[in-house]
Structure 1
Amino acid sequence: MNLAYVSNLAISVVAASTPLLIAASGELVAEKSGVLNLGVEGMMLVGAIAGFATAHQTGSALLGVGAAALAGMLIAMIFALLTLSFLANQVATGLALTIFGKGFAALLGAGYVGISAPVLHAIPVPLLSQIPFIGHVLFDQNILIYFSFVMLALIAWFLNKTHAGLILRAVGDSHDAAHAMGYPVLRIRYAAVAFGGAMAGIGGAYLSLFYSPLWSQDLTAGRGWIALALVVFSAWRPLWLLVGAYLFGGITFLSLYIQGLGIAVPSPLVSLLPYVGTVVVLVLISRDARRIRLNQPACLGKYFHAVS
């Protein structure tokens, strides 16, 4: 096994992990504010078709990414309106959002099956891309892979080093106390949910404009659910989110790699690997109730009634 072969394997793992990292980063911010949005899968699908259709019509993949972010944000606002303003159940509304997103994306994408669109090409970073092995793996990639790293670093800095991040975490941990101190709880949560929707949409656009640059129904193949699991796996901490995304991305790629080797394993069983891995990891994590209790936002999924 030579260095070039290992490098290609590493690039494949990075490619498989990026949509998980982008979508999970947005959901992390939403959950830190105390909102549990289970509609990540639906938002990713709507973002994927919005990005693909826009890129096809305009000839610009970057405009497609922008359209995907906007589409994901608009879908997330439906969830926010129902749960934050009308106090609908967050779990039920999130599940409904996923169902709606799947159907809506399938409807919009019916005319785009089998056609191509501009894709995101690699942009080598000067000098850094020339570093042996590391340069080819990390610094000769498309813009959304760089974006995933930069956004995760910014989120970690925002949550842990800024006053605004402290306020967001305070809203997630005790919305009543934050409201009593004069902070606009609903506006903060609306903004966090909008950000989560935009990131999910961008994650979907990555799939339709780079990872498998063709539109097909259910393109995300459950990645939205894995992104949700990653937030729990990371215990709501950005660094562990990165570790988890690449762990699950590696498992996802492994399932494809095994199929490519022609090993005599039923393909449905191989396809189950990422989801079995997700369930196993979550079961192991759930055994450590103290870790979850210490890190989970205390008001996650709870109603907030503003009292004047």
Structure 2
Amino acid sequence: MAEDAEATKIILKKKGNLTKERDEDGHTPLHYAAHKCCSSVVEELLKWDASAAYVCDRKLGMTPLLMAARQAHLQKSQKIHSFCPDCCVKVDNRGWNLLHFLAFRVYPPCIAIYFFTLSRKMECASIRNLMDWKDALGITPHQVYDAYRPRIARARKSFENSGQKEKKKQIEELLKDIAREEVAECPVSPFSLPTVSAESLEKTRDAHLVVAGLIATITFAAAITIPGGLQTEKGSERGTPLLIDEAAFEAFVVTNAMAFILSVSALSIHFEIVNLLLSKLIFWRPDMIVSRTQSVSNLLGRAVIAMVIAFSTGSYVVLKPSHGLAIASCLIGPAFFLLFYY
């Protein structure tokens, strides 16, 4: 980073007017620095010519501050704002200000940090009005935030029940357009789009809970009622499974235990999500909920496979005296997965 800043100094000393030069899209070096370079380069460019922070590009009307906010580069945003406090009121062709862009990023609560920093410094009085600023479609940063981050259930329902479903669709379309934007073939930093509804997540969660509960119950019962029975004669081996020396029995025990642990782990993750929801946290990351739901799906998928293997090996070891029936019972489970995959 220090090398980049030093190189920028040398270039600016030789060609000071570089900060005002624009490419065919109207981008200045500060635009590029805000989009992809380190904050030290941004600082050097601003020291040489702070007026570059007010330049808008030709295509979207983006200022360097808006580009930094679109990338969720909070440090760069604060750096640009510290040099040019008034540039925070500039908007792009959509009418979006920097808080519109910060509102949909999946990083830690950028808006809260930004507001907290600015409110303490009191460098720009108009920053307090940005949250209520309406774009060309009448969308505020707060509405972008509510549409993108389902916080607690009450806030999500209030947004959907307030006649804003159409506006939410407009926000999703705008975010899809932003995800496709790029600067000199360098795309916008990826972010997850709010394509998963709260209702579908709730239904998925209920289904997961039922499946995980059934697998845990079945595997627990299978561990208690050992296939083949136990030694009943008095002695040191009393209670030992009769088929303990069989390889198929060992495979049954291991896979049955794996299915039980995986299903219990899935239940634990869902309970953790519920605890977080009940904690009434102000800021929520929808990608975290979706990723944990996907983790539960993966765990349950592996638990089902382990349970089928446990069923096959348990059936085989019990029916081993009838060799053909044992093989047929053992192959039913894998054959089902093979046909399903095909």
TM-score, length-normalised on structure 1?
A: 0.21
Structure in which a larger fraction of residues adopt helix: 1
TM-score, length-normalised on structure 2?
A: 0.19
Question: Which structure has the greater CA radius of gyration?
Answer: 2
